[in-house]
Amino acid sequence: MAVIHNTTMVPGKLDLLTEWLPTREWYRGLATPNLRKAGGFRLDDPAGQVGIEVMIVVDLDDAAPTAESPAYLVPMTYRDAPLPGAELIGTSTHGVLGLRYIYDATTDPVFVDQFAALGAGRVPAQAQSVSNQPDPTVGVSVESGGRAGGWSVVRVLAPGSAPDAILADWTDAAGLVRRGPVAIARPS
């Protein structure tokens, strides 16, 4: 199980995402987002080498954020060395672990394997901020057995349900708890 350290990261994850998110084709906000952490969970790396965090952020992109303000899913991995071929979000100095390379986890094979294991029910989601604590707000809905083809991450979140989905909760910009798919099973 991953150990969550009570420490700082400089720059912080939201600072890195503020720069990175507007460069994504699926981003719908202003040139400089005003991000707030809204939810998420962790997955464990069986080898204990890679940090895996699935973060949900909301963009408080105007003076009066509403329930319709965008919510984004940003899976990230944290490594102590560069990963060739992976999409780098940025680097940060962790108060305990030192320099971390932070990647878009969808390009990291450790995340891809563990996310598939979550979808298949082989590993549990872990709480985002507490060590060794399963996260009961994350669930898998498999109605048609469509998980054999892998999982497509949903980047811009919307509340609701879907067959063959990984579901999670988040708090929207208006402060309401929402639940919706964070990944959809690809047909095999």
pLDDT in tens, 37-50: 999 999 999 998 99
159: in domain:
no
Higher pLDDT, 65 or 180: 180
Contact 167, 140 (CB under 8 A): yes
Please give the pLDDT value at position 113: 94
Please give the pLDDT value at position 92: 86
Long-range CB contacts (within 8 A, 24+) of 161-166: 165/140, 165/141, 166/115, 166/118, 166/119, 166/138, 166/139, 166/140, 166/141
Please say if the pLDDT value at position 30 is more than 60.
yes
Mean pLDDT estimate for the chain:
86
Please say if the pLDDT value at position 97 is more than 70.
no
165: in domain:
no
CA torsion, ordered 183, 117, 94, 58, to nearest 10 deg: 10
128: in domain:
yes
- In terms of average pLDDT, the best of 8-22, 103-117, 133-147 is 103-117
148: in domain:
no
Please give the pLDDT value at position 107: 97
Higher pLDDT, 8 or 173: 173
pLDDT tens-digit map of 116-137: 999 988 999 998 877 677 889 9
pLDDT tens-digit map of 139-184: 998 776 544 568 999 999 999 988 889 999 999 988 899 999 999 9
Please give the pLDDT value at position 150: 83
Name the domain count of the chain: 1
Please give the pLDDT value at position 93: 83
The secondary structure of residue 13, as a DSSP letter, is H
Contact 51, 25 (CB under 8 A): no
Range(s) of the domain holding residue 118? 9-135
User: Residue 78, CB half-sphere, CA atoms under 13 Å: how many?
Assistant: 23
**What residues have CB less than 8 Å from 178, skipping those under 6 apart?**
67, 71, 157, 159, 169, 170, 171, 172
Please give the pLDDT value at position 128: 80
| pTM (predicted TM-score) | 0.90
93: in domain:
yes
Contact 9, 100 (CB under 8 A): yes
